[in-house]
Amino acid sequence: MSKVAIITDSNSGITQAEGEKLGIKVVPMPFTIAGTDYLEDINLTQEEFYTKLSSDEEVSTSQPSPGNLMDLWDEVLKEYDEIVYIPMSSGLSSSCASATSLSQDDDYEGKVFVVNNQRISVTMRNSVLDAIRLADEGKTGAQIKEILEADKFNSSIYIMLDTLYYLKKGGRITPAAAALGTILRIKPVLQIQGEKLDSFAKARTTSQGQKIMLNAIKDDAEKRFGGLDPQNVRIDAAFTQDIERANEWKQMIEETFPGFDVHMDPLSLSVSCHIGPGALAVTVTKILK
């Protein structure tokens, strides 16, 4: 039986410390802030990131360097026969395509399997946990990749923004639309369902936005994933920066969906730099049998 290692990146929300406990490697995502290079959860904490973001410093995202990634694969393959690498969604970054290209090198072909299951944050974390379980059950790297990619559209993320400033700064909406939205106090609700971050709805209040997201989760569970049941789907939460507000949101989700064990993580910094602080998110993921 092949010995299969699981590797993911920090967009999964899995920290370096949690990765050690799970027995996996977590590739830190690189950032450049005001001309200085950082690695998420290595020399850049969540707190430091938001301090720099609120200071209006220029933040740009990148992808793990090919050299660093191959060095990690080489190290891991000294102990393991195969690697399953689960990077962030190919719809949100080119890092998945780059890793896939590297895995086709003669040194890695048949040994490194890059999973393009188009997830991020808590839904991506669920894929990692599934991969660990499948490896423990004796599945090969190729089998785990096939199973996870076949399951890729069985999740949804809904995110309510607290500010339009960062969408405007990133050129995703016009300054005029941002100004009008600010005046009207619009709380945009975005969605991720396999591919890119897309518009879903517009709320005039936080409570209205929360209801929109909770109803969307219920609809997805019942109409797309076969039923709203803790044995059938996972419901999880995510947020940016404001932990007190996030804990209240988690409590609201648990009260709305009793019986669900809601896991909550900070949103990936790769997403956070585009949406800013104060965002709330909820996810639903069909449980992989």
pLDDT tens digits, 51-105: 988 887 888 888 899 999 999 999 999 999 999 999 987 666 678 889 999 999 9
Q: Kindly report, residue by residue over 4-21, the tens digit of the pLDDT.
A: 999 999 999 999 999 999
pLDDT digits (tens, 9 = 90+) for 185-226: 678 888 887 666 778 888 989 999 999 999 999 999 999 999
Residue range 272-276: average pLDDT? 85
Q: What is the pLDDT of residue 192?
A: 84
Task: Give me 274's structure tokens.
Answer: 């585009």
> All domains of the chain, ordered by start, with CATH?
4-29+64-151 (3.40.50.10440), 155-286 (3.30.1180.10)
- The region, left, alpha or beta by phi > 0 then psi within -120 to 50, assigned to residue 149 is alpha
Q: How confident is the model at residue 163 (pLDDT cuts 50, 70, 90)?
A: confident
What is residue 275's predicted lDDT score, i.e. its pLDDT?
A: 84
Give CA separation, 99 vs 65, 93, 104, in Å: 10, 11, 9
pLDDT of residue 185: 64
- The reported pLDDT for the residue numbered 111 is 97
pTM of the prediction? 0.91
**What's the pLDDT band for 174 if we cut at 50, 70, 90?**
very low
More confident residue, 259 or 202: 259
pLDDT at position 239 over 70:
yes
pLDDT (0 to 100) of residue 167: 66
Mean pLDDT within 11-38: 94
Helix or strand holding residue 127 (H, E): helix 121-136
Q: Which DSSP string corresponds to 202-238?
A: EESSHHHHHHHHHHHHHHHHHHTSS-S-TTTEEEEEE
Instruction: Reply yes or no on whether the pLDDT at 180 is more than 50.
Output: no
Choice between 89 and 120, residue whose per-residue pLDDT is larger: 120
Length of the chain: 289
Q: What is the pLDDT of residue 178?
A: 39
Q: Which of 149-158, 159-168, 173-182, 218-227 has the lowest mean pLDDT?
A: 173-182
Work out the number of other CB atoms within 10 angstroms of the CB of residue 125.
Answer: 26
pLDDT at residue 273 in the model: 84
How high is the pLDDT of residue 173?
Answer: 41
Here the tokens at position 121 are 């944050």
Average pLDDT, the chain: 89
- pLDDT-wise least confident of 17-21, 43-47, 109-113, 252-256: 43-47
Whether residue 122 is predicted with pLDDT greater than 90 in this model: the reply is: yes
